[in-house]
Every structure is written in C-alpha cells, then in structure tokens.
Amino acid sequence: MIVRELELDLDAFEGPFDLLLTLVLKEELDLADVDVAGIVVRFLERLGEREELDLDACGEFLVLVAALLELKARGLFEDEAAELADLEPEEAAEELARRLAEYRRMKEAGGWLAERLAEERDRFFRIGPAPLAPQPERKLAPQEPEQLAEVIRLLAKEPPAVSLSHMALRFPPVSQFVERFRALLSRRSRFDFDAELGGLSRVEQAVAFLALLELRRADEITISQAAPFAPIRVARVGEESAAADERTLAWNARSA
C-alpha cells in the first residue's frame, strides 16, 4: 500500500494524497480548508479493505498527517506563543520536506537491515572456543601440607568487626544555636545569618536554620531578605519597626 497514492474525496480536494501534499507545499491550496479527519478516515477504510496491517504504510501516514496537522495548527493560531509559531509558510514547507526526507532515510535503512537479516538468517555463529581445540595441561606447583594447614587456620578465624561509627550522622542540638543567636542579639540589634555560618558543616548549617525558625516561631526575631538568595537579615522584634519609623520621620522632615 502506497500512502501517496491514496485516493481522497474531500470537500476542498479530490485526487491522490501526493497531489494534495504538492498543492499544500506550493500554497496553491489553503490547508485550513482541508479536512484532515477525512484523510484519516479514508486511510482507515483502505486498511480495512486490505484486511492486514501494513506497518510501513502506517508509519509513513502518521508522519505525513502529523506534519499537516502542525502546519494547519500554525495557520489557525497565528498568535499562539509556541516554540515554532514564528515559522513562515516557506519555512514550514521546508520543515515538512525535511521530515519526509528523514522518514524516507529511516525507511530505506530499515529495508537494508531487513535484507541483511534475510541474507544472514541461515548462518549461525558459535560463541566460545572450538570443541576440538587442544586443552593445555594444567600442572600444579608442589604444595607443602604445613602451609595449607596454616591457610585453613587463617580462614577459620572470625573476621574483625567492622566499625560503622564514621557513617553515623551527629546532629548538634537546636537549643545550642538558639542560645547562640539569643546571646548575639543581646549584644547587637541585628546580624547577618550567612556571616554566622562560617566554618560550619552542612549539617550544622541546617540545624542553625532550624534554630532561626524556632526563634521566629516564638516571635523573638524578625527575618528579612531583599531578594531570593540574598543575605538573610535577622533582627530583634521591634527593631525593624523602629527603623521604619525613623525613616518615615526623616522623610517627613525633609518634605516639610
């Protein structure tokens, strides 16, 4: 079954599928008027008449119909912000031709592989050495019974216990960092959280952040960040509002 010779009887076109593709590529036929669903129905009817599934024809038909649907969608939704929505009609035609050429190359490669498989079907290869190859004689070196007994005694010993202490994760208590931040705020009204993490491991940094959240939940501190990934500023409760009041009074003074 040759898909390009499929006879179509549509409202806007009547003739072989190959001629429809040619008219569309030459822009002599408006693709918006073409009933793509009717093409699919006609192809399924043709398959039903043959009473056998032609995988090559189905693959070629899917490529052609998919390309037509993409071109038609671009024509119907010109303002759609899609990745390929800016293609001009000439570029869209070139894209369709490229896909058809790529499909033909894949189809020819599949045919070549099928021919090679048919040619090599009756040939079988043995994996491994030939059965009549001479077997080398294996000679064992002289062994001492005392050495063999010593090796067996070593194997009979219990192996030493393997220590897994290095794999254990030790988390410092959250209260340690809570008290540390409270002591820091008792000396200063605010501090930079990132600056206080110097020299800490990733686990300790995570616990320090949990301590920061615990203080925020207790309404002891306020947390601010100018932008994502910007330094985290920590201040005592009331310090931010006091600073805002000072800026408001300064602005009112300048305005007056």
pLDDT of residue 20: 79
Residue with tokens 């006879």: 7
pTM: 0.32
How far does Cα 141 stand from its chain's mean position? 58
Q: Which of 204, 212, 166 is nearest to 185 (CA)?
A: 212
pLDDT of residue 246: 46
C-alpha–C-alpha distance, residues 122 and 120, integer Å: 6
Q: What is the DSSP string of 53-118?
A: --HHHHHHHHHHHHHHHHHHHHHH-TT---TTTT--HHHHHHHHHHHHHHHHHHHHHHHHHHHHHH
DSSP letter at 238 equals: T
C-alpha–C-alpha distance, residues 215 and 177, integer Å: 10
- Integer angstrom CA distances of residue 184 from 102, 178, 181, 221: 68, 10, 5, 12
Neighbours of 34 (CB within 10 A): 21
Residue 222 β-bridge partners: 235
pLDDT of residue 80: 45
Q: Which two tokens stand for residue 201?
A: 């491991």
Q: Dihedral of CA 26/31/35/37: which sign?
A: positive
pLDDT of residue 64: 80
Residue pair 205/221 in contact (Cβ under 8 Å)? The answer is: no
Q: How far apart are the first and last CA of the chain?
A: 90
C-alpha–C-alpha distance, residues 158 and 155, integer Å: 8
Regions of the chain where pLDDT drops below 50: 80-83, 243-256
Residue pair 212/179 in contact (Cβ under 8 Å)? The answer is: no
C-alpha–C-alpha distance, residues 220 and 215, integer Å: 5
pLDDT of residue 179: 92
